[in-house]
Amino acid sequence: MTERYELQCRECRTSVGNRPSSVCEECFSPLEVTYDYDDIRTCLTREAIAQRAPGIWRYRELLPVADEYEATLPIGFTPLVPAPQLARHFRSRRLFLKNDCFCFPTLSFKDRVVAMAMAQARRFGFEVVGCASTGNLANAVAAQAARAGLRACVLIPADLESAKVVNTQVYGARLVRVAGNYDQVNRLCSQIADAYHWGFVNVNLRAYYAEGSKTVGYEIAEQLGWRLPDNVVVPMAGGSLITKIKKAFDELVKLGLVEPKPVKIFGAQATGCSPISTAVKAGQSDIAPQKPSTVARSLAIGNPADGHYAIQAITGSGGWAEDVSDKEVVDAMQLLAATEGVFAETAGGVTVGVARKLFAQGRISPDETTVLCITGNGLKTVEALQGRLELPEPIPAKLAAFQEHIADEAEAVAV
Ligand SMILES: *Cc1c(COP(=O)(O)O)cnc(C)c1O
Ligand SMILES: [Zn+2]
């Protein structure tokens, strides 16, 4: 097997090879995947990438998979689309949406990370894969485990949206609902991972899993014509996605695939669970854990594993973090749908709501290229819109009834 990657401690830089572990035994800091960039520079060119199928595997030298690994799912390469009508609301002139509402196969960016964990589950010979999830991860693990012929055991907080529960069970995954919040579920999963020989995608396989998020960054750069944006706004739960988008941009510069350019990284949270944005706003470099209470359940992690690194990525780039109330989240979901025809889940409402604030505060300048990361599909969180959209009474199947019904529509002109 030809492997061009291995785990290294983020702090003491000890290299530990490849193994199902996410903490350094020397200093207990998180492990991270590193690559031989000098080697990759010689083979990975824009032209080579352009000849490959659209999807995350076109950047495979920069992902933790062996050369021989046969990937079967066309994950990622989601649309990067201009958002001119939303831009007008923000008085922005160059606004884009990176739209992972359409990520294959389970309609959120978590399909990208799970693909990495699955490759490693195979490599380490795990027959059961598990995860602690706020919903989307559960969906992605259940689907990809079914596809890979592995058993899945998924632990979730008991109060998740029904679509996320159904979208896990339908694949035949074992679903364990825990009476507690995500942070309690996560602690339980660490104990299970110690007691059972299982691959937990965000516990003992976390270092590998997290690398999948880099593909969002690679795609944004490639889809902008191999250019980096000026600003990117990213929703944060555990804080992994935002740090990996930064890592992706840095790698592309290091490999000479894009011109060096400062990119401001902006983090978005819901006020009801905002440990990272609170720390950024207070100028602190570490997290004070919170007890989550927000409609944005996919982001409800009160003690984010990568919080410290997310803060570094944000402040080091000259960016900022903000948070929005549940009402602002749902307002923003409706604004995004009504302006751009994109129905995002609550996390998308968080991103758009925060972006609106950042433009209003003058932290993002209107003439710069700004990308909003829309990470999951609105069909998964329809509960959030309850009480917002009135279900009209049925009318008789008669033209006169219809005319009466729409009498208030000024534009409805009879022919
Ligand atoms: C998990 C998730 C995030 C944030 O991911 P982290 O890497 O944990 O910060 C953002 N959006 C959605 C829809 C998610 O499911
Ligand atoms: Zn260490």
- Classified as helix, coil or strand, 69 is coil
| Residue 240 Cβ < 6 Å to ligand 1 | yes
Name the nearest CA neighbour of 380 among 76, 115, 136, 104: 136
The residue type at 172:
G
Q: Is the CB of 239 under 6 A from ligand 1?
A: yes
Q: How far is it, in rounded angstroms, from Cα 260 to Cα 70?
A: 33
Instruction: Provide the pLDDT for residue 414.
Output: 54
Give the mean pLDDT of 200-212.
97
Mean pLDDT of 301-320: 97
- Supply the CATH classification number for the domain 80-106+211-385: 3.40.50.1100
> pLDDT digits over 372-389, tens only?
999 999 999 999 999 999
Asked whether residue 265 carries a pLDDT value surpassing 90, the answer given is yes
The torsion of the CA quartet 119, 121, 124, 126, rounded to 10 degrees, works out to -150
Indicate which ligand has the atom closest to the C-alpha of 351: 1
Which of the residue ranges 190-194, 230-234, 307-311 would you say has the lowest mean pLDDT? 190-194
The protein residue with its alpha carbon nearest to ligand 1, atom 11, reads 375
Is it the case that residue 410 has pLDDT exceeding 90? no
Q: How many CB atoms lie within 10 A of CB 221?
A: 22
What pLDDT digit, counting tens, does each position of 137-179 carry?
999 999 999 999 999 999 999 999 999 999 999 999 999 999 9
pLDDT digits (tens, 9 = 90+) for 94-137: 999 999 999 999 999 999 999 999 999 999 999 999 999 999 99
Q: Name the residue with the closest Cα to ligand 1, atom 12.
A: 375
Q: Give 411's pLDDT tier (boundaries 50, 70, 90).
A: low
Q: In angstroms, what is the span from residue 38 Cα to ligand 1's centroid?
A: 31
Q: What is the pTM of this model?
A: 0.96
Tell me: the pLDDT tens digits for 13-35?
999 999 999 999 999 999 999 99
- Pairwise CA distance, residues 29 & 45, whole Å: 33
pLDDT at 413: 58
Which residue among 232, 287, 373, 375 has the greatest number of ligand 1 atoms within 8 angstroms of its CB, and so is best to mutate? 375
CA angle 152, 158, 161 (to 5 degrees): 90
C-alpha span between 203 and 191 (Å, rounded): 10
- Give the DSSP H/E element, type plus range, for residue 2: none
**DSSP code, position 280:** H
The Å distance, Cα 298 to ligand 1 centre, comes to: 6
Q: What is the mean pLDDT of residues 340-360?
A: 98
**194 pLDDT more than 70:** yes
pLDDT higher than threshold 60 for residue 390: yes
Strand 199-200 relative to strand 231-235, pairing: unpaired
Cα(184) to centroid of ligand 2, in Å? 26
Given a cut of 80, is residue 324 above it in pLDDT? yes
Q: Which residues pair with 151 in a beta bridge?
A: 128
Q: How far is the CA of 311 from the centre of ligand 2 (A)?
A: 20
Q: Is 144 in the pocket of ligand 1 (CB under 6 A)?
A: no
Q: What number is the average pLDDT over the span 225-234?
A: 98
257-290 b/e (C-beta count within 10 Å ≥ 16 → b):
bbeeeebbbbbbbbbbbbbbbbbbeeeeeebeeb
**92, burial (CB in 10 Å: exposed 0-12, middle 13-18, buried 19+):** buried
Query: Long-range CB contacts (< 8 A, 24+ apart) of 3-10?
Result: 3/66, 3/67, 4/35, 4/36, 4/39, 4/40, 4/61, 4/67, 5/33, 5/34, 5/35, 5/63, 5/64, 6/33, 6/34, 7/31, 7/32, 7/33, 7/34, 7/207, 8/32, 8/33, 8/34, 10/309
